[in-house]
Structure 1
Amino acid sequence: MTVTTGPSDLTGRTVLIAGVTSASGRATTRALTAAGARVVATGRNPRKLVALAELGARTAALDLTDESAVDALAHRLHDDGTMIDGLLHLVGGWRGGGGLAGQTEADYRALETSFTALRFVTRAFDEDLRASPAGRLAVVSSTAVARPLAGGANYAAVKAASEAWTRAVAQGYAKAARDADEPLRAAAVIYRVTSLAGLEESLATSFTRLWDTDASTLNGSVRDLEPAG
């Protein structure tokens, strides 16, 4: 059940954005900080993180496909008392075309890094999100999962794997709550888009408002993004 339609108040919440240096990452950082959240912005290129720091985010340059680096980030945050309440996974990219014959192994391996990063970061921060009073995980997937094309087979396969992983995370949240005989507080959500171009503000607004909706309504859901307004 949605409890508010006005601007979200995320004061006191900490949100990690994985792969933040895209236009979507910048828009979401602005929306989260405007709502009062603390943002941990992660990406591979430290120079591209400067703009996020200027928006008020705490930045961390690391390779999210390096499991030891992701675990080290979690330990650094925990050592200074920081536990995250939200995680937005924006690591992605596109390679495709040429029909099935054009789906090279090199292209698949490049796309697979998004799924690898998702597995590492969700494992590293799973306890944080389950322990939070309102943990929220969101991933950006593609309409190609439901309507795959031969020229995008690699891409659709990686996105399908990422969705399956996210649904498994959602099941873990639900099971943990049942086993503890507690209300469900954490939720994992999948956003599907044809392309994020032009939807950056919609993603930022929708993600920020996940905290306005009960976890039981959100957990395991697939949502289509539409242009803002």
Structure 2
Amino acid sequence: MKTRRNSRHMAVQKQDEEATKMVTSTGGQGPLEGAVIAVAGAAGPAGRATLLRLAEAGAVVVGSDSNPERLAEAVDAARYAHGGATVIGETVDLLDLDQAREWAARTEKEFGRVDGLVHLVGGWRGSATFGETDLSDWDVLHKLLIRTAQHTSLAFHEPLQRSGNGRYLLISAAGASKPTAGNAAYAASKAAAEAWTLALADAFRKEGGEQGPNAAAAILIVKALVNDQMRAERPNAKFAGFTDVTELAEAIAGVWSRSAQEVNGKRLWLTPEP
């Protein structure tokens, strides 16, 4: 294990020597070649797709999840699909701010930089009607959707600012902008996480000064997500308006192709805006 970690560190040190080229490269190298991207919630379907896409783009990918078995499977799949890619997994409790800060600091120390945090931690609770809303759902969703985003943003804020091309990406739902009666707790949680992310974007704007931000916080918005397993389990379902997890992963990777000023503080809609 020590030899493997040392090998990774030496490889990334070599990449870091040409950091400026990594983030502005042309002539066959994309903006993610050698970039260091952390992915929170990496073990779910969207996380697996994102690990695969970022590894394909040449990024060093550091995924975290609270489920070590599922995380190991996701990391192994990305490594297998893209031989030679640096993809590692760390079990992190994102409800613990100290653990989130330690994850950010450890990643920056080992790889010399952090160019992105993709926040994919999710969950859903709802009811048939507004009157049947169970406020315990709010307690659960507050932890999953708000508290984890607060912790990752606070932990990675400064490393992303130091990157020179950092991106903080939150995945949200269209329901945050147009809540339905049975989704009060879910929509309110998503809206709160969006507001928190936009506050981070304002911090990046202010820290950039007259030259504009050199890091960005943005929100990618879907109606809902779908993957192959869901289609197999419900072969007659249409999943109208849903975004496939591979399309989401493609959109995530594409954010680094746009300037920080262009995407900072923006809601990037992957579904029609309500």
Q: TM-score, normalised by structure 1?
A: 0.90
The match for 1:214 is 259
Aligned partners of 1:69, 1:82: CA distance in 2, in Å? Answer: 19
The within-5 A match list for 1:127-206 is 127-178=158-209, 181-197=210-226, 198-206=243-251
> Which secondary structure state, in structure 2, belongs to the residue aligned with residue 98 of structure 1?
coil
Q: Is the 8 A contact 2:32 2:58 kept in 1?
A: yes
Equivalent AA in structure 2 for residue 68 of structure 1: D
Secondary structure of the residue aligned to 1:87 is strand
> Which moves more between the two structures, 74-83 or 129-138?
74-83
CA contact (8 A) 2:114 2:160 kept: yes
Q: Is the 8 A contact 2:127 2:134 kept in 1?
A: no
Percent identical across equivalent pairs? Answer: 34
Q: What is the aligned partner in structure 1 of residue 156 from structure 2?
A: 125
Whole-angstrom distance in 2 between the partners of 1:101 and 1:155:
15
Separation in 2, partners of 1:98, 1:155:
13
Shift of 1:7: 8.4
- Deviation of the 1:83 alpha carbon: 2.6
Is the CA contact (8 Å cut-off) linking 2:36 and 2:115 kept in structure 1? yes
Report whether the alignment pairs 1:72 with 2:90: no
Q: CA deviation at 1:195?
A: 0.4
Contact 1:71–1:124 under 8 Å retained in 2: yes
Query: Does the 8 Å CA contact 2:51/2:75 hold for their aligned counterparts?
Result: no
**What are the Cα deviations for residues 71-130 of structure 1, in whole angstroms up to 9, with x where unaligned?**
222232244344310111111111101322222121111111221000001101100111
Q: Does 1:43 align with 2:65?
A: yes
Output the amino acid matched with 2:195.
A
What is the rounded CA distance, in whole Å, between the counterparts of 1:87 and 1:69 in structure 2? Answer: 15
Which residue is 1:105 aligned to? 135
Q: Is the 8 A contact 1:96 1:102 kept in 2?
A: no
2 CA distance for matches of 1:7 and 1:72?
31
Give the deviation of 1:147 after TM superposition: 1.1
Q: Does the aligned pair in 1 maintain the 2:108–2:159 contact within 8 Å? A: no
**Structure 2: where are the runs of 5+ without partners?**
1-24, 80-86, 227-242
The code of the aligned residue for 1:144 comes to: G
The structure with the largest alpha-carbon Rg is 2
The number of equivalent residue pairs is 222
Segment drifting more, 14-23 vs 50-59? 50-59
3-state SS of the aligned residue for 2:219? Answer: strand
Q: TM-score, normalised by structure 2?
A: 0.76
Q: CA 1:188 to 1:47, structure 2 compared with 1: closer, same or farther past 3 Å? A: same
Q: Which has the higher helix share?
A: 2
Match of 1:15 in 2: 37
CA contact (8 A) 1:199 1:226 kept: no
Higher relative contact order (CA 8 A, sep 6+): 1
- Rounded to whole Å, the distance in 1 between the matches of 2:250 and 2:53 is 7
Structure-1 separation of matches of 2:168 and 2:55: 17
Cα RMSD after superposing both structures? 2.0
How far apart are residue 183 of structure 1 and its match?
4.0
* Poorly superposed stretches of 4+, deviation over 4 Å: none
SS of corresponding position for 1:125: helix
